[in-house]
A and B are shown apart, each in its own frame.
Chain A
Amino acid sequence: MTTLTPPAPAPARPPATPGTRSLLTADQLGPALAGAFRKLDPRGLVKQPVIFVVWVGSVFSTVLAVADPSVFGWLIAIWLWLTVLFANVAEAVAEGRGKAQAATLRKAKTTTQAVLEDGSEVSAATLVPGMRCVVVAGQVIPGDGDVVEGIASVDESAITGESAPVIRESGGDRSAVTGGTTVLSDRIVVEITSKPGETFIDRMIALVEGASRQKTPNEVALNILLSSLTIVFLLAVVTLQPFAVYSGAEQSMTVLIALVVCLIPTTIGALLSAIGIAGMDRLVQRNVLAMSGRAVEAAGDVGTLLLDKTGTITLGNRQASEFVAVGGCSDAELADAAQLASLADETPEGRSIVVLAKTAYGLRERTDLPGAVFVPFTAQTRMSGVDLPDGRQLRKGAAGACTTWVRTQGGEVTAEVGDAVDSISASGGTPLVLAVAGPDGARVLGVIHLKDVVKEGMRERFDELRRMGIRTVMITGDNERTARAIAAEAGVDDVLAEATPEDKLALIAREQEGGRLVAMTGDGTNDAPALAQADVGVAMNTGTSAAKEAGNMVDLDSNPTKLIEIVEIGKQLLITRGSLTTFSIANDLAKYFAIIPAMFAGVFPGLDKLNVMQLHSPESAILSAVVFNALIIVALVPLALRGVKYTPGSASAMLQRNLLVYGVGGVVLPFVGIKLIDLLVSLIPGIA
């Protein structure tokens, strides 16, 4: 038997606080700029077709500026390079935010030695699954694994940012330990479950750094559309030259390049990968690790959410909600007895009885009860209570146990008790019978109604989810009747009562057959198959390694309610991409009105009617469009990193809003922006 010594306070990094982190701090800017320059390497840029085209254009325009120097030529070349650079900055900034986190994680990987069961020391890097290591207080756990012997308090702040230590013990659902965390007390034996280099921390580092980032399915599809648009615009401009020559308005290569760069969707092209990285980062900030970007995207598509009742929908414990007096017992008498019987009961249920007696019946809390003997709850008696100095014995417990006790004490149990018990059960509550035995004989005083308390705000969350088109299913081991009652109170759409792991798996398969994507949380080993089957399986960090292995996300805070936030982040990621794509394409209209008259009004004066912005000169018009095109990328970096504002609601309402802001806004804004830039640009000597 192991005794648990109180853990020493652990030094820990401050927990991550979502939302408060500034988007870009001065110390991040330096490395981001350096990264942006490194990313000018065309071999990397090829993966972003839109930006690669700009890169090629920059090279050409530079060559042209060198061969035939002019203020206009050089300015265009410079701003084209800036366009590429700004795109790189966006990505580098997004990556930089993960790098800081990765550095912290790397520090946790300092352990090099592991002590095996036989006492020999080996390098942690050589540990393979199946090996057993001994870790004692003060040591760092050398690798991921399960506790197979002992119990210990572990400081997991290196991973979770949470400084309060957690208990890890062999057997059960709290056996998983993570390499890099520190044992604060006691001694445990850990069986290693991960290969070297593939530990949880290794994967975390890779994830937050974006090293293992793969394009997600929607990102790939969007990239294809953008590439196709790029080709269309390339064709439109390449074929324009023969038409221009025919019309006697041959255009310089520089102008044509400028036109292409302005037309192709550079804004979204530049921000696309930053949006993806930032989406993952938003999860990391909420202490959720997504093992793949695909899972984050799938979260946005989720159609069915499976939620465990206990801890997710309801508070972990039942609470007393009502005292039902029977047999002529007054309410005050019952409340008093209930309070007395529960004073020493440290369980949440017991405490809630004391609280109810105080709030509902105005009983002052008694602190000590001289001469009273407390009778603790045991599995045999299934009752607890108190023996008072005046000879009265108070007992509370399960209906069966209590009524039997009353009878053995010579009392009678009326049918009224049975009715009260049944009516509480029917409403989904748990009846707790309170009885007394003493000089006056034994009798049942009343029944305490213990109730699952639905967490505050859950109904609103579920209404919100319903508006988003997500069906919620509550999973519980309770019987159907109890489950239905709680489900109705919480406002979930459906329940799976008396659920076994097989039932869960079958439910997921059924939902998926109907074309719905399913998300769930789980922590136990028996949740693993369902976690693996679900499209989004969020494993609790407190759970077993089997569960963590099976899911595609791990919640370091082990907060099942977070599933809802994950769904929102997934949606926000897609919305940001879609909105900026719309914005990017909508921008083209104004650019045409700036550039086309500038190119051809000289030959066809009538086309100057299209110069609705009254731009200063052809050169200033083209340059302004290019400058606007570059600056808008920088201006939208914060939006790309933060994500478009997401308010849960119906798809139609959301689309309407985003179309208005990013579609209509995208048409109007550049007219204003280009005009303003033109006012400045026209002051440059050589342009004016």
Chain B
Amino acid sequence: MSATTAGWLQFALLVVALVAVYRPLGDWMARVFTSPAHWRAERLVYRAVGVDADAEQRWPVYLRSVLALSAVGVLLLYGLQRLQSLLPLDNGMAAVEPGSAWNTAVSFVTNTNWQGYVGESTMGNLVQMAGLAVQNFLSAAVGIAVAIALVRGFARVGTDRLGNAWVDVTRAVVRLLLPLAVVTTVVFVLAGIVQTLKAGTDVSTLAGGSQYLPTGPVASQEAIKEIGTNGGGFYNANSAHPFEDPSAWISLLQVFLMLMIPFSLPRTFGRMVGNTKQGLAIVGVMASLYAIGVGLLTLFQARAGGAATALAGAATEGQEVRFGGPLSALFGASTTLTSTGSVNSLHDSYTPLGGAVTLFNMMLGEVAPGGVGSGLYGMLMLAVIAVFVAGLMVGRTPEYLGKKLGRREMTLASLYILTTPAIVLVGTAVAIGTSAGRAGMLNDGPHGLSEVLYAFTSAGNNNGSAFAGLSANTDFYNIALGLAMAFGRFLPIVLVLALAGRLAQQGRTPVTAGTFPTHRPLFAGLLTAVVLVVVGLTYFPVLALGPFAEGLS
């Protein structure tokens, strides 16, 4: 079977699997967040945290809860890393440097999982399990909770309550992420992914030498890494490492896992607002953008010039030869479109235009389908912008799902689309414009610019994948990227929850023939265009100087 045929089959299989889980998983998530009953395990958590699980919160309280949980998470994770050598299960690792520890703490709490460190030689098992893995669960749960709060804003009428952040986060972990992660871990272990508390093994190589192979609780980390669109690998090589990703099947499964929840959340949205067609429109937009991203990346990777490339059938530098070009491109597109950031190939080695696609994927704001939760709320914010312009064009005060989009709503949505580009562009400009920033660049010319741009795009959009070619474990990048991740995560959350609160208070305008329907292909097409145009116009100049300058020469 040729690589191309295999690629098509893999993609088809992936689509079938995603379509298959769309309804059951989406409906299950809707149940999780609307059911009035608490599970016993959850009650224990509520008692431990000291919250009244049946009391609903106004949006500022919801926000404070989310921020508090995240702040505590950053502190704990920072402390764990700094005190690693004094704690058990340190596997002999030294305390992590302050800059790196801060960067890593923010990175995992913000669901970015940017890794400025080398996992297997920096973090002991305690940090991996009690620190990083815990945040993998919590940060994913926070994203889902915020998305659910926004959905409630659309679904509810005349109330200032958005639900309870503690309940939503707890349920996301207990009823959704943990069960999925447990099952996945078992599958991974069966497939040969390492799962042990042993720090490593000395092996004799075929060549007669000896090599130390670091091991650890990889399979369990790996499961939530993909399910929660986190992306932080146990090993520095991430999913290109055979212990994290032993076969093409598992690689494809990992792609599926990172897409599963983000692609199913629109169904949850549709269920909760009482019209599953609305969810279909959103997932349609996500799927179109996703298909474009995968298609372009595969195309640019396969069509790269040069005799060597032609001979190999595709650009193979930095590719995982075990999986082939198409699966690398599929993984690369999926990981940049879901804010996961795990990689099974080296994006830095992609063709310039292929690299541009991975960049552009992230610049879309992680909405196609985006991170768990964050993808849905990001897409809904863009939908608000699209509905506003479209609504004016049909001669009415724009309304989305019966909620009028007035001055306050538009202020919040406008600030939302402004936030991430501001972080990315200013961050990159500062890095390029200062010697501290330029010091970390291993390449010059357009490629060097692409690498820095990639780093800030990845951090600002909470993706976490790295272009490499950039020595990011410096104080400058640890601090700057840490800030980019924190602002890129929490400023949008503030705006999303504020909008949710605002929407929930509104009544609902009834649907008439004069209402612009937001569940038809026309709107889906418009929203797709808005996403592409807003992003395209914002980043065109810098893309021109980076990957375009390199790719078009």
Contact = CB atoms under 8 A, between A and B. Distances in A.
B395 A300 contact: yes
A235 B389 contact: no
Contacts of B526: 655, 659
B429 A652 contact: no
A653 to B, nearest CB: 9
Interface in B498-553: 507-510, 512-517, 520, 522, 526, 529, 533, 536-542, 544-546, 548-549, 551-553
A596 B516 contact: no
Given A651-B516, A652-B522, A239 B426 contact: yes
Contacts of B428: 239, 243
Given A233-B537, A235-B421, A239-B428, A604 B388 contact: no
Q: Indicate the size class of the contact surface on chain A.
A: 35 or more
A510 to B, nearest CB: 12
B512 A469 contact: yes
Interface in A239-265: 239-240, 242-247, 249, 259, 263
A572 B181 CA distance: 54
Given A243-B429, A243-B449, A232 B421 contact: yes
Contacts of B179: none
B394 interface: yes
A298 to B, nearest CB: 8
B81 to A, nearest CB: 33
Interface stretch (A125-133, A374-382, A483-491, A575-583): A575-583
B514 A236 contact: no
A578 B392 contact: yes
B410 A225 contact: yes
B79 interface: no
A687 B109 CA distance: 55
A571 B395 contact: yes
B514 A659 contact: no
A511 B541 CA distance: 51
A629 B314 CA distance: 43
Contacts of B396: 300-301, 571, 574, 651
Interface in B467-516: 507-510, 512-516
B402 interface: yes
Given A233-B537, A263-B537, A659 B552 contact: no
Contacts of A66: none
A218 B512 contact: no
B411 interface: yes
Contacts of A235: 421-422, 425-426
A232 B395 contact: no
Contacts of B88: none
Interface string B418-433: 1001100110111011
A247 B449 contact: yes
A323 B532 CA distance: 70
Contacts of B509: 303, 515-516
Contacts of A228: 414-415, 417-418
Interface in B390-448: 390-398, 402, 405-407, 409-411, 413-415, 417-418, 421-422, 425-426, 428-430, 432-433, 438, 445-446, 448
B395 A646 contact: yes
A414 to B, nearest CB: 51
A222 interface: yes
B329 interface: no
B552 A585 contact: no
Contact of B516 (A227, A604, A655): A655
B537 A588 contact: yes
* Majority-rule SS of A interface residues: helix
Contacts, number: 218
Contacts of A303: 509-510, 512, 514
Interface in A23-69: none
Given A466-B513, A469-B513, A651-B514, A610 B544 contact: yes
Majority DSSP secondary structure for residues of B touching A: helix
A250 to B, nearest CB: 12
Interface string A645-670: 01000111011101100110000000
B63 interface: no
B142 to A, nearest CB: 26
- Residue of B409, B410, B422 ringed by the most chain A CB atoms within 10 A: B410
Contacts of A401: none
Contacts of A588: 537
A217 interface: yes
A639 interface: no
Q: Among the interface residues A243, A588, A603, which one has the most CB atoms of the partner chain B within 10 A?
A: A243
A471 B426 CA distance: 51
Contacts of B529: 663
B183 to A, nearest CB: 43
Contact of B541 (A515, A570, A596): A596
A651 B540 CA distance: 33
Interface centre among A220, A244, A466, A604 (most CB of B within 10 A): A604
A654 B393 contact: yes
A577 B392 contact: yes
A221 B514 contact: no
Given A246-B449, A469-B512, A572 B395 contact: yes
Nearest to B513: A469
A326 B529 CA distance: 72
A470 B542 contact: no
B429 A227 contact: no
A169 interface: no
Contact of B522 (A259, A589, A656): A656
B385 interface: yes
Interface in A450-473: 466-471
Contact of A578 (B390, B410, B533, B537): B390
A225 B414 contact: yes
A232 B538 contact: yes
Contacts of A579: 392-393
Interface string A324-356: 000000000000000000000000000000000
A609 to B, nearest CB: 5
A222 B392 contact: yes
Contacts of B389: 225, 578, 581-582
B514 A469 contact: yes
A586 B426 CA distance: 25
Contacts of A232: 417-418, 421-422, 537-538
A651 B513 contact: yes
B512 A470 contact: yes
B549 A515 contact: no
Nearest to A644: B393
Given A236-B542, A247-B449, A242 B507 contact: no
Given A240-B542, A570-B395, A582-B393, 9 more contacts: A222-B388, A224-B407, A225-B414, A228-B414, A470-B514, A585-B533, A592-B537, A607-B548, A658-B393
Interface of B: 385, 388-398, 402, 405-407, 409-411, 413-415, 417-418, 421-422, 425-426, 428-430, 432-433, 438, 445-446, 448-449, 507-510, 512-517, 520, 522, 526, 529, 533, 536-542, 544-546, 548-549, 551-553
Interface of A: 217-218, 220-222, 224-225, 227-229, 231-233, 235-240, 242-247, 249, 259, 263, 297, 300-301, 303, 466-471, 514-516, 570-575, 577-579, 581-582, 585-586, 588-589, 592, 596, 600, 603-607, 609-610, 646, 650-652, 654-656, 658-659, 662-663
17 contacts: A218-B398, A221-B409, A221-B410, A232-B421, A238-B429, A239-B542, A242-B433, A245-B433, A247-B445, A468-B513, A470-B514, A571-B395, A578-B393, A596-B544, A658-B393, A659-B393, A663-B529
